[in-house]
Structure 1
Amino acid sequence: MMPKIADIENTPNPNAIKFVLKDRVAWGKPKEYGNPEEAQGDELARRLFAIPHVTNVFYADHWVTVTQDGNTEWADLARKVAQPIREAKAAEMPVRAELDSEPEQAEDSRLVAIKQLLDKHIRPTLIGDGGDLEVMTLCGNVLCIRYYGTCGSCPSSQTGTLIAIENLVRTIEPEIEVVSV
């Protein structure tokens, strides 16, 4: 089965567009590729990078976000990008062991609370816009996060969104500084 495109959405990043699909292209952890070399082992991403102007591919579950270099119009590029997405194989459901493959590690209680807060208040909006974030580390009072997809190159993620995240996590720890890596 091949995924059907249910909708194409603009994102806050003018150089990124989100394709919402009726079928899954992935299960679990999102996949992001920042260049054609990184995408060599992934058929969908490799085919998308073969299209001129594509600079980033990010996908998870029922959506694919494609970022371009800003040197072409989306009206033309979206048609080209839609073809490999329509031709991609739908992801098969993994066995339960594959979903649980990451080892559990004891985490700082502050970090657990921060992740829960971000999962509830920030990540749904970012995912809705075709991006996401991952908490990388909490060293002392410095929380390092990494943006994915449309958020990775969006100017507002480095300003307004980062400030909102910092204000939110300061409800747990008033001295925390949030840094995008």
Structure 2
Amino acid sequence: MPKIADIEDTPNPNAKKFVLREPLTWGISHSYETTEQAQGDTLASALFAIAHVTNVFYVDRWLTVTQDGQTDWDKLMRDIAVPVRAAPAAAEQSAAAVFSARTSVADLSAEDQQRLDDIELVLDREIRPYLQSDGGDLHVLSLAGNQLVVHYQGACGTCPSAISGTLQGIQSRLRTLEPDLEVIAA
């Protein structure tokens, strides 16, 4: 059962990042924006059952919970701790299982797949570590022509700076690969 090692603030005042001693997953992220999306995930469903919880995101040894801004964090954190402590730690998973669980963009030409691979490499090395340190992440939804559509997860999903400044920073960095690339948050 995961124990909470630390609770960190994020740039989003409505989100907290819970750092855990044991992993909940091995490289597979879980992101839920509604109770309906969380059906079938015991931990996420238990967290959404807590009043004011609006978003749940977890991967490996951390969990980010976002609230609606209508309650005190001290009380909410105590309520969140109960299902987190009851959740099972991740079972060992093979690298193949983790790889197959990653959602990829389908139906790309060989050239566009290479473009996406290059973009994902930059995201993995230079962008995601910063987003993850703040309790969030991003997922690529599509690459069509010069448009890359991404979806923010966790604390980044409702953070005002993610939609403006962070998105511009990501676009600026990716434009060093492709000068005409437009990054859109969905």
TM normalised by structure 2 equals 0.91
1:161: which partner in 2? 166
What does 1:140-159 align with in structure 2 at a 5 Å threshold? 140-159=145-164
Counterpart of 1:123, as a letter, is R
Q: CA deviation at 1:36?
A: 1.4
The SS at the match of 1:29 is coil
The answer for unaligned runs of 5 or more in structure 2 is: none
2:86: which partner in 1? 87
May I ask how many residue pairs the two structures share in their alignment? 180
In structure 2, do the counterparts of structure 1 residues 101 and 110 end up closer, same or farther at CA, with 3 Å as the change threshold?
Answer: closer
CA–CA separation in structure 1 for the residues paired with 2:56 and 2:158: 12
Q: CA deviation at 1:102?
A: 5.4
CA–CA separation in structure 2 for the residues paired with 1:96 and 1:141: 32
The SS at the match of 2:36 is coil
In structure 2, do the counterparts of structure 1 residues 97 and 121 end up closer, same or farther at CA, with 3 Å as the change threshold?
Answer: closer
Is the 2:12–2:155 contact (alpha carbons within 8 Å) kept by the matching residues of 1? Answer: yes
CA–CA separation in structure 2 for the residues paired with 1:60 and 1:67: 15
Deviations 1:46-93 (A, max 9, x none): 111111000111000001100000101111111111111111111101
CA–CA separation in structure 2 for the residues paired with 1:35 and 1:99: 24
Please identify, of 151-160 and 133-142, the stretch whose mean Cα deviation from structure 2 is larger: 133-142
1:123: which partner in 2? 128
CA–CA separation in structure 2 for the residues paired with 1:135 and 1:99: 17
Is the 2:23–2:60 contact (alpha carbons within 8 Å) kept by the matching residues of 1? Answer: yes
The SS at the match of 2:148 is strand
- For the pair 1:114 / 2:113, whether they are aligned, the reply is no
1:44: which partner in 2? 43
Deviations 1:147-167 (A, max 9, x none): 111101100000000000010
Q: CA deviation at 1:112?
A: 1.6
In structure 2, do the counterparts of structure 1 residues 97 and 119 end up closer, same or farther at CA, with 3 Å as the change threshold?
Answer: closer
TM normalised by structure 1 equals 0.93
Q: CA deviation at 1:135?
A: 1.6
Give runs of ≥4 in structure 1 deviating > 2 Å: 99-110
What does 1:1-181 align with in structure 2 at a 5 Å threshold? 2-101=1-100, 106=110, 107-181=112-186
The SS at the match of 1:108 is helix
Please identify, of 16-25 and 98-107, the stretch whose mean Cα deviation from structure 2 is larger: 98-107
The answer for unaligned runs of 5 or more in structure 1 is: none
Q: Share of identical aligned residues, percent?
A: 53
Q: CA deviation at 1:109?
A: 2.4
